[in-house]
Amino acid sequence: MSLDTMVRQLGRHAELSDDDRRALAGLPFIRRVVKIGHYLARAGDQACEHIVLLSGYAHQHKTASAGGRQIVSIRMPGEAVSSACLFIDRVDYNAQALTPIEAAVVQRDALRDLIAARPAVSKAILMATLIDAAISSEWLLNIGRRSAIARVAHLLCELAARMDTIGLADGASYQVPLTQEQMADILGLTGVHVNRMMKQLTESGVIARHGRCIQFPDRDRIARIAGFDARYLRP
């Protein structure tokens, strides 16, 4: 397993030279296999590693003092669990595997040296961080100002758009790596409410479902329901 997935993802955010790509691919790393439900990082851990997903999906979540969980991010292949770990001392989130994962634990100091020496790499990581921030802002808007049906539709649209970008879907069918309870913890709803909204979207023909496989018979229709505009996902 190599860092090619990470290199391709960063190459979408900035124009990397062949030398930049070789330097990124040559970073020292340790391969880590993580089972479903196991943690890649926990709040309070020392931030001494830069963890990149090579395959599989993970989520970041934070926990309220009363015990409630809020999922604040979905991580996909090629993405870092958190680019902030390059610059902070302590992790302030929990990162947990949604599916079986292969991850690369990259030496943080080696990547920081590479960023300092190669402006295009620095720009790519900055752009990835800015896109993460844009996604967080959109999720906040989703929770605060959209109806329940629009929240669910928007999340499905975003996941599909991100999967399309990294080549994890065929443009027609999407394997959603989330349970309805996990969707609820993203959207500020209950699992029962998410179930009702998914049923409504299915019965009205907006989506077709086969287990966790989702199809969109009319992408424009679900985008209108969601108020979805994919520009926030682009550099």
Task: Read off the pLDDT of residues 216-229 as tens digits, 9 standing for 90 and up.
Answer: 999 999 999 999 99
Residue entry with tokens 């994890």: 168
Pick from 10, 228, 43: which is nearest to 139 by CA? Answer: 228
For residue 22, what are the CA distances in angstroms to 3, 4, 56, 102? 10, 10, 24, 21
Structure confidence at residue 161 (pLDDT): 97
Residue 55 near residue 104 (C-beta atoms within 8 A): no
- Of 29-33, 60-64, 231-235, least confident by mean pLDDT is 231-235
| pLDDT, tens only, 126-136 | 999 999 999 99
Strands, sheet with 29-34, edge to edge from the N-terminal-most edge strand = 29-34, 101-107, 49-55
Query: Taking 80 as the threshold, does the pLDDT of residue 1 lie above it?
Result: no
pLDDT of 194 higher than 70: yes
Query: Buried b vs exposed e over 1-38: b needs ≥16 C-beta within 10 Å?
Result: eebebbbebbbbbbebeeebbebbeebebeeeebeeee
What per-residue confidence (pLDDT) applies to 86?
86
CA 54, CA 51: separation in Å to the nearest integer? 9
What local confidence, expressed as pLDDT, does residue 142 receive?
Answer: 98
Main-chain phi, psi angles of 7, to 5 degrees: -65, -45
- Give the number of other CB atoms < 10 A from CB of residue 137: 11
Q: What would the pLDDT profile of 100-148 be if each residue is shown by its tens digit?
A: 999 999 999 999 999 999 999 999 999 999 999 999 999 999 999 999 9
DSSP 124: H
